[in-house]
Chains A and B, each alone.
Chain A
Amino acid sequence: AQTVTQSQPEMSVQEAETVTLSCTYDTSESDYYLFWYKQPPSRQMILVIRQEAYKQQNATENRFSVNFQKAAKSFSLKISDSQLGDAAMYFCAYRSPYGGATNKLIFGTGTLLAVQP
């Protein structure tokens, strides 16, 4: 079974600085999808970024980028120019490419990010 591990329960960053959140996963599948979700205090889950395992190029979305290391099964999220609104719980998630019930997302335990003004 696939597992997702986030080893940093809490992180803190100064406004305008850069922070990297770690995520590792375990799978025997060769193709899959990886996600980073943000959950602010409102608790609404928001997709931050998505990566397909077959793509070697790291995904980027404005100030958010990932460092996808397939061999190491690592998928870290870098937030550049951190803003106060980035303060949230961040979840890393894995999804199998196959259909049916296996389309579920498997979440890590989350990293609570604080942004200091």
Chain B
Amino acid sequence: GAVVSQHPSWVICKSGTSVKIECRSLDFQATTMFWYRQFPKQSLMLMATSNEGSKATYEQGVEKDKFLINHASLTLSTLTVTSAHPEDSSFYICSAKTGGKGYTFGSGTRLTVV
């Protein structure tokens, strides 16, 4: 089946630095990638939707300049958390449309900002 590989699975960074999270579709072309944020024991909150070759569409309240999304190819989408602060610590998950009505999710990235 369709697989999305997400890296890193966890990362610790210092406050003020930037962190890049990658999601790669391994055996299909991901024209659309969704990026979610999840706090402990809470639901997935959609941050943005990216389509290959175009600018991402951000949900209301999500800072575009802080959460930079790039979807330059059909197999790679990246989320960069810029100038990270402790309040950005969270679990980030990507999800790709796999054609038809299906979606496949990455395994998530636990970000801790110290």
Q: Which residues of A contact B (CB under 8 A)?
A: 33, 42-45, 47, 50, 52, 89, 91, 95, 101, 103-105, 107-110, 112
CA distance A47 to B91 in the complex (A): 19
Residues of A within 8 A of B46 (CB): 104-105
Question: B67 at the A/B interface (Cβ < 8 Å)?
Answer: no
Residues of B within 8 A of A45 (CB): 44, 93, 95, 105
Chain A nearest CB from B9 CB (Å) reads: 10
Chain A nearest CB from B105 CB (Å) reads: 4
Q: A44-B105, A44-B108, A45-B93 are in contact. Are A109 and B43 (CB under 8 A)?
A: yes
A104's partner among B34, B38, B93, B101 (CB-CB below 8 A) is B34
Q: Which residues of B contact A (CB under 8 A)?
A: 32, 34, 38, 41-44, 46, 49, 57, 91, 93, 95, 97, 101-103, 105, 107-108
Q: A101-B49, A104-B46, A112-B41 are in contact. Are A43 and B103 (CB under 8 A)?
A: no
CA distance A26 to B57 in the complex (A): 24
The residue in chain A whose Cβ has the minimal distance to the Cβ of B1 is: A47
CA distance A43 to B92 in the complex (A): 10
B49's partner among A47, A104, A107, A112 (CB-CB below 8 A) is A104
Decide: A43 and B44 in contact? CB cutoff 8 A.
no
The residue in chain B whose Cβ has the minimal distance to the Cβ of A37 is: B105
Decide: B43 and A91 in contact? CB cutoff 8 A.
yes
CA distance A33 to B95 in the complex (A): 17
Q: What are 21 pairs between A and B in contact, CB < 8 Å?
A: A33-B101, A43-B38, A43-B93, A43-B108, A44-B107, A45-B44, A45-B95, A47-B102, A47-B103, A89-B41, A91-B43, A101-B57, A103-B32, A103-B97, A104-B34, A104-B49, A105-B46, A105-B103, A107-B43, A107-B44, A110-B42
